[in-house]
Structure 1
Amino acid sequence: MGIATATITNAEEYEKVLSTSHPVFLLFVSARCPACADAGPLFERIAARHPDIVSLVLDCANTPQHPHVKGTPTLLVYVMGELMEIIEGFDPIKDQEKTVEELFDRYVQRPLLHGTT
């Protein structure tokens, strides 16, 4: 788990990545996107602190077009293979770190306490 810059070449590879019990964050970026220059490193830094989340940075130039990605940066969040969130951009630059950190915190898997429901 953790962060990786990856290339996904076909639908089967998407399915393989999503077939985990851990949350999966797919950040789609483009080298021609000025916002991606900030979003990518921010995402990688925060993802490194959350090893229970599978986090991939996908360059749109090397990855087949995804139907939910209309522009970059776009983050897709999956749980148990189901698309939970689509985040287009990361808010104004001054709020980006807080926004991304809160997003990761929502999906961190916490152990269940005995005796709770």
Structure 2
Amino acid sequence: MGLATATIANAEDYQRVLSTPHPVFLLFVSAHCPACTEAVPLFEKVAARYPIVVSMVLDCAQTPRHPEVTGTPTGLVYVNGELKEKLQGFGPLEDQAQLVEDTFARYAS
């Protein structure tokens, strides 16, 4: 599992990614978002420690709009194709590492 490099091109691609029996953590980002600059390396670092979770960073400019994403960064966690958690941003900088770690840990067990 781990970090995927696939591009989401349409609704069918979303369904294909979500059809896995493993948890899926999608991080939606924008190239012009200062908070995303901090969020992506943190997300990738934590994701590398949880290979059971399918983890993807998706650039909103290159990905079809997702109805749950109204700003960036936004994290969506799916289990068995069902949205379980939505993170709009990762909160204050000093709390971000723990929030991302806790979120991955919740779904990796």
Structure 2 counterpart of 1:79, one-letter code? V
Structure 2 counterpart of 1:104, one-letter code? F
In the aligned structure 2, how far is the partner of 1:99 from the partner of 1:66?
23
Structure 2 gaps of 5+ residues are: none
Q: Which residue of 2 aligns with 1:52?
A: 52
TM-score where L is the length of structure 2 = 0.97
Relative to total residues, which structure has the larger helix share, 1 or 2?
A: 2
Q: Which residue of 2 aligns with 1:68?
A: 68
How large is the Cα RMSD of the aligned pairs?
0.7
Task: Judge conservation of contact 1:27–1:58 (CA < 8 Å) in 2.
Answer: yes
TM-score where L is the length of structure 1 = 0.91
Cα distance per residue 1:22-64 (max 9 Å; x no partner):
0000000000000000001100000000000000000001001
Cα distance per residue 1:77-107 (max 9 Å; x no partner):
0000000011000010011000100001100
Aligned positions, number: 109
In the aligned structure 2, how far is the partner of 1:35 from the partner of 1:78?
23
Structure 1 residue 7: deviation in Å?
Answer: 1.8
In the aligned structure 2, how far is the partner of 1:5 from the partner of 1:48?
13
Structure 1 counterpart of 2:77, one-letter code? V
- Residue 29 (1) aligns with residue 29 (2): yes
Structure 1 counterpart of 2:52, one-letter code? D
Runs ≥4 residues deviating over 3 A: none
The secondary structure found in structure 2 opposite 1:67 is coil
Q: Within 5 A, what are the aligned runs for 1:6-25?
A: 6-25=6-25
The secondary structure found in structure 1 opposite 2:62 is coil
Task: Judge conservation of contact 1:6–1:57 (CA < 8 Å) in 2.
Answer: no
Structure with larger Rg:
1
